[in-house]
Amino acid sequence: MSSDKTESHTAPLRVAIAGLGVVGGEVARQLTHRADAMKAPTVRGFEIVAVSARSRDTDRGFDISNIDWYEDAAALATRDDVDVIVEMIGGHDGVALELVKTSLSRGIHVVTANKALLAHNGTELARLAEESGAALMFEAAIAGGIPAVKALREGLVGNSFSRVSGILNGTCNYILTRMERTGEAFGDVLADAQALGYAEAEPSLDVDGIDAAHKLTLLAAIAFGQTPDFDRVSISGIRDVSAVDFAYAAQLGFRIKLVGVAEPGRMPRMQTCLLPISTQLAKVDGVLNAVSYEGEPVGSIVLTGPGAGAGATASAVLADLIDIANDRIPPTFGRPLAQLSDGSKVENGGDPDTPFYVRLMVVDQPGVLADITSILQVHGISVESMLQQGRAPEDVVALVLTTHEVAVDRMAKALSEMEALSSVQAPPISMPILVGDLEG
């Protein structure tokens, strides 16, 4: 239970850390070794009173001798001398959920990097926080060291947002960047990324877009003033991207990225798409993350930085802790719950009309182009550019085209008709082209 208010402004903020893995350990080291630096913006500073972890004896680079140790993280929330719990356990249920619920119910502030927990249980947890007056803060959950939450919730709070988009998973961006640079296949790059520690042994959370969709759910909640609802995000990952498409995209002036896009009145979508090379998001390479906020009156703002890693994530945790130490306790999703609309009932305007990139593997023979352009014409789809690589009479060649804006279902029908052509040798590859992001 948090101490009484008078004391809380002068005594150190009492911290318990649940989970001393890569990030939890770094937070503990920062609070310990940089204690003086932490006093500059808070005056009061911090004191770690308790931690929980699997093993007590691991050397984690900070003095644990005066800190109470627990094997069971849930026990941290039962103490009466803890002001804030740093939850670094992970997972959207189980111990993490129990710990956070108990803490918030008792008025203990919570700082977490757990996007899955909040994407699945955000509304319930925000309610507990609001009822007890505790903070529930999650800067570290989105885009690592980038102050993405604070920028949206406070720095740009005066705006009405028309779009929130981002490169929200460093593993995917690393894989795509490397496929583009080397022409390697997805599977080969993934295997190497796993060997290098950039990808998990079980990569599904990353490469299937789920982790990034958790983050997008939370950004959409803050930007559009709605409760988070992970079930209403359309999700696809990067497993189906072929290395050849990067080269074709580049020739046409685009790069391929996994981008999360949320717009008011539409289902947020996590999708592999083409970005014009002149946009800021297109220039974000490797393990970097970026968020792009578009609103009125600001225009577009892009924030870029490390999306993961001990130091970057710890920086975000420290910012939340310092806000709490300074009594800056924001509503969980930027507004009181009563002012949030119900995320599960947000109008679904469907996917917006969008330009498309299409690659067809066709037999190089007379009449193919006429067949394809005829299908496009029937569906009222106009071609922006077309590209055929080389000539190989009677052999299979790639035919690449980009379209002007078209309804997604109309494009799907046209693609299905193209696939039925005898000259088309494989299912057409198609990706939306995301336009309108910050250029320059």
Least separation, in Å, of the C-beta of 41 and its own copies?
A: 5
Phi, psi for residue 24 in degrees, rounded to 5:
-55, -40
Which residue in the set 83, 245, 323, 417 belongs to the binding site for its own copies (CB under 8 A)? 323
148-207 residues in contact with its own copies (CB under 8 A) are: 150-151, 154-160
Q: Is 334 in the site for its own copies (CB under 8 A)?
A: yes
In angstroms, give the least distance from the CB of 112 to its own copies.
16
Smaller CB separation from its own copies, 158 or 183:
158
Kindly provide the b/e burial profile for residues 13-28, where b requires at least 16 CB atoms within 10 angstroms of the residue's own CB.
bbbbbbbbeebbbbbb
Report the distance separating Cα 216 and Cα 342, nearest Å. 16
Q: What's the token pair of residue 149?
A: 């939450």
In this chain, which of 127, 239, 335, 379 binds its own copies, going by CB under 8 A? 335
Query: Which residue in 91, 94, 299, 350 binds its own copies (CB under 8 A)?
Result: 299
CB of 70 to its own copies, least distance (A): 25
| Cβ proximity of 357 and 433 under 8 Å | yes
Choosing from 101, 115, 150, 215, the catalytic residue is 215
Candidate ranges 257-265, 320-328, 362-370, 416-424; the one touching its own copies (CB under 8 A) = 320-328
Closest distance of CB 190 from its own copies, Å: 19
CB of 83 to its own copies, least distance (A): 17
- Encode 57-67: b = buried (16+ Cβ within 10 Å), e = exposed: eeebebebeeb
Q: Compute the Cα dihedral for 381, 385, 389, 392 and give only its sign.
A: positive
CA 212 vs CA 144, 208, 217, 284: distances in Å: 12, 9, 9, 16
Do residues 66 and 32 make contact, with C-beta atoms less than 8 angstroms apart? no
Tokens 């309610």: give the residue: 127
308 sits near its own copies (criterion: CB under 8 A): no
**Per-residue contact track with its own copies, 248 to 287, x per CB under 8 A?**
--------------------------------x--xxxxx
Residue pointed to by tokens 């052999």: 395
Query: How many Å apart are CA 128 and CA 307, to the nearest integer?
Result: 28
Joined together, the tokens standing for residue 61 give 């680079």
337 contacts its own copies (rule: CB under 8 A):
no
Per CB under 8 A, which of residues 338..377 are in contact with its own copies?
339
User: By CB under 8 A, is residue 296 in contact with its own copies?
Assistant: yes
3-state secondary structure of 237: coil
Closer to its own copies by Cβ: residue 313 or 423 = 313
The answer for residues whose C-beta is within 8 angstroms of residue 284's C-beta and 6 or more apart is 167, 173, 257, 290, 304
Q: Is 215 a catalytic residue?
A: yes
**Nearest-angstrom CA–CA distance, 217 and 231:** 9
Q: Which is nearer to its own copies, 323 or 351 (CB)?
A: 323
Residue type for position 204: S
* Structure token digits, residue 296: 């009125």
Which residues are bridge partners to 257 per DSSP? 273
Query: Looking at beta carbons only, is 89 or 317 nearer to its own copies?
Result: 317
* One character per residue 17-36, x = contact with its own copies (rule: CB under 8 A): ---------x---x---x--
| DSSP 8-class letter at 229 | -
At position 190, the amino acid (one-letter code) is L
Residue 136, interface with its own copies (CB under 8 A)?
A: no
The reply on whether position 385 binds its own copies by CB under 8 A is no
Where do contacts with its own copies occur on this chain (CB under 8 A)? 26, 30, 34, 37-38, 40-41, 43, 139, 145-147, 150-151, 154-160, 225, 280, 283-288, 295-306, 309-312, 314-315, 317-319, 321-323, 328, 334-336, 339, 438-440
Catalogue the active-site residues.
Answer: 215
